[in-house]
Structure 1
Amino acid sequence: MTRVDLDITINGDRQILSVEPHWTLLQVLRNELGLTGTKENCLEAECGVCTVLLDGAAVASCITLALQCRGRTVVTIEGLAPPGKLDPIQKAFIEHGAVQCGYCIPGMVMTAKSFLDEHAGERLSEEQIREGICGTLCRCTGYRKIVDAVAAAAAASVTQGQRP
């Protein structure tokens, strides 16, 4: 198959890659760039473990064609915070013990990041948080610690007047 150039910004770095038109964003991230924090699972946008931010919005990278991202900005779990630092959401997940096996956590963190950015400065109910993260499945927990972590990150952003 003929490859096509893809000009994309990933985690703040402009990349020009040669990709096959049928490749998904997930394939490019994991196989071409070695960004394996974005997990591969259902390949049908059902589980959420492959969630990344595309121009700030949470998307399932397993069903997003890489070429749909031409000229756009992608953030993966590896690029969420500067090297050696944690995003407030990552910190909250650790502080609340919301990381079990860890497989779903990158997708869950990215989903939470997008959700909290959409609702910056708002006081969120547990129901709103559960609905906001419902697209990412976790088989290890009952979501209690995850919801607590997202709530803590949201509350901290309201208190500090910052985006999570």
Structure 2
Amino acid sequence: MDAEITLHVDGTARHVTVDARTTLLDALRERLGVMAPKKGCDHGQCGSCTVLLNDRRVITCLVLAVAHDGARIVTAEGLAQDDHLHPVQQAFIDHDGFQCGYCTPGQICSAVGMLKEAEAGWPSAVSDLAAAEVRLSPAEIRERMSGNLCRCGAYAGIVAAIQQAAR
């Protein structure tokens, strides 16, 4: 059964007809030509398809497009404003937070979402619950980003980039 939905992708309303079983990732890539989210494992294990969905990070290969009719989606391409990179994007460049770049859009979106979660005081598995606020130590960042894998092993640069952006 097909359904017509509207997705607001990087600030633009996009209308698309999809089969009810179509993942958000496939709707973005195959139906709308949005190439920032990458299809890695297609099982929710690598995080390369991560976007911000209504300001929350979401692994798009695990959600159905029809469930998000009218949603606001921001990809790594939509984070920049005019000619200015988002602070997380700039930090990834400054700290060589990528090598091949395949996972980078998902890593960047996840980092932006993770920083919002930490700012809101959401704890992680390694958070000090007695502390008044979340302290983004390298261990805290690694835990919060653990759903995003990098086959090249650029983790040191990714952690440094997120620490810079958090400042």
Q: State the TM-score, normalized to the length of structure 1.
A: 0.88
Amino acid at match of 1:151: Q
1:33-72 pair list within 5 angstroms: 33-72=32-71
Deviations 1:23-77 (A, max 9, x none): 1111111111111111001111000000011111111111110011112111111
Using the TM superposition, name which of 24-33 and 77-86 deviates more: 77-86
The amino acid that maps onto 1:20 is D
Further displaced range: 117-126 or 86-95: 117-126
Query: 1:119 aligns to what SS in structure 2?
Result: helix
In the other structure, the counterpart of 1:130 is 142
In the alignment, does 2:151 pair up with 1:152? Answer: no
- Equivalent residue number for residue 131 of structure 2: none
CA distance in 1, matches of 2:24, 2:154: 30
Q: Which residue of 2 aligns with 1:3?
A: 2
1:85 Cα deviation after fit: 2.4
Percent identity between matched residues is 41
Over aligned residues, Cα RMSD in angstroms? 1.4
Three-state SS of the structure 2 residue aligned to 1:17 is strand
Partners of 1:47 and 1:143 lie apart in 2 by 14
Conserved 8 A contact 2:97-2:154: no
* Inter-partner Cα distance in structure 2 for 1:34 and 1:62: 15
Alignment map for 1:14-163 (pairs within 5 Å) = 14-120=13-119, 123-141=135-153, 143-155=155-167
Residues 49 and 137 in structure 1, CA contact (< 8 A), matched pair in contact too: yes
Instruction: State the SS of the aligned residue for 2:61.
Output: coil
Counterpart AA for 1:107 = G
Q: Equivalent residue for 1:159?
A: none
Q: Give structure 1 stretches of 5+ with no counterpart.
A: 156-164
Q: 1:142 to 1:4 in 2, by over 3 A?
A: closer
| Unmatched 5+ stretches in structure 2 | 121-133
Aligned length: 154
Is the CA contact (8 Å cut-off) linking 2:98 and 2:154 kept in structure 1?
no
1:82, distance to aligned residue in structure 2 (A): 2.5
Q: Which runs of 4+ in 1 moved over 3 A?
A: none
Paired letter, 1:146: I
Structure 2 Cα separation of the partners of residues 63 and 113 of structure 1: 20
Distance change >3 Å, CA 35–CA 142, structure 1 → 2: closer
SS of aligned partner of 2:5: strand
Q: Is the 8 A contact 2:57 2:109 kept in 1?
A: yes
C-alpha distance in 1 between matches for 2:22 and 2:82: 28
Following the alignment from structure 1 to structure 2, what is the Cα–Cα distance between the partners of residues 99 and 6? 34
2:57–2:113: 8 Å Cα contact kept in structure 1? Answer: yes
Q: Distance in 2 between matches of 1:31 and 1:100?
A: 26
